[in-house]
Structure 1
């Protein structure tokens, strides 16, 4: 069956970011990796149950694979949540392999990311409660944008008080008031 570019799948709905339960914060993580240069952009966005953006980060680093980059993004998200003093947290990623590896038996994961997964598990033990969820890319747009901006070297920072202007429109697309209250 050949579908035109204008065709719409019946019943298709776009995935969107959703707020975590009351008293929880949601930490969305993502990576953008370029195989030729091995340069990875790591994005983290932290929001509370009222959808208020509390902070985030855009960082760059080298990574040998896309899954390694995703694991580093997750570790950055865990560290940022801990630094912010968050005790109840929902972590989200659009990498099924990463989420399954963090939630499951890390011995069955790719051996190349085993040390990063171990560090994620150790760091998560400091939270009162936490969970790891896979989400569709459409529900992870802000972290994706942060990662892409980092890889293109448009942003390389941790923010808590001033959101990079390049991310305001992505958060607005998630249904948040803009500029977001920080």
Structure 2
């Protein structure tokens, strides 16, 4: 397992937030038993500055616990990813979660949330400030980076939201393409 190193003085400042790369960068990994994981992603269209954003919540068995998605506007791909993370935190709040893992394929943003002194591109800086404030309302947010392949469920829902073909009740009636991903992920990584 590979870890990003955070200087001790910064680690103490963000002691409730941990970071590690997923051990299987090509496969979604389940959270610990009785824990939940929120995966977020965004799909951005540079020609229109529109984006689809998504948050998918699953338990340690890979079962879909909740989700949210929407079509939105963003000035950059980084801003779109930040909107998706904000959506994930809003979803976690609506589910009354106090501690959970939040996983995104944006290494820039995950690193920024772990290092309170870091800065990001101007296009996402205000969103990052709001996300930091929103995350502080939870008991614990474990920030994790995941490869795009390990984040396929959120990636698919974000793409559907961008193209405005994501049905409103996708969490209770997942489309077949999402069901295939959820079943594949629930099976766990190959030995």
Equivalent positions of 1:29-178 (< 5 A) are 29-105=40-116, 107-155=118-166, 157=168, 160-175=171-186
Larger radius of gyration: 1
State how far apart, in whole Å, the 2-side matches of 1:62 and 1:105 are: 26
SS at match of 2:186: coil
Q: Would you identify which runs of 4 or more consecutive aligned residues in structure 1 move more than 6 Å?
A: none
Structure 1 residues 34, 156: CA separation in 2 closer, same or farther (over 3 Å shift)? farther
**TM-score of the pair, normalised by structure 2:** 0.78
Structure 1 residues 42, 158: CA separation in 2 closer, same or farther (over 3 Å shift)? farther
- Structure 1: gaps spanning 5 or more residues: 1-12, 177-182
SS at match of 2:179: helix
State how far apart, in whole Å, the 2-side matches of 1:73 and 1:134 are: 14
- Structure 2: gaps spanning 5 or more residues: 1-23
User: 1:164: Cα distance to partner?
Assistant: 4.2
User: 1:27: Cα distance to partner?
Assistant: 0.3
Equivalent positions of 1:8-23 (< 5 A) are 15-23=26-34
Structure 1 residues 33, 104: CA separation in 2 closer, same or farther (over 3 Å shift)? same
**TM-score of the pair, normalised by structure 1:** 0.82
State how far apart, in whole Å, the 2-side matches of 1:14 and 1:126 are: 29
Q: Please list the CA deviations of residues 54-73 of structure 1 after superposition, one character each: whole Å capped at 9, or x if unmatched.
A: 01122110111000000000
Structure 1 residues 14, 128: CA separation in 2 closer, same or farther (over 3 Å shift)? closer
State how far apart, in whole Å, the 2-side matches of 1:70 and 1:81 are: 17
Aligned Cα RMSD in Å? 2.1
User: 1:125: Cα distance to partner?
Assistant: 1.7
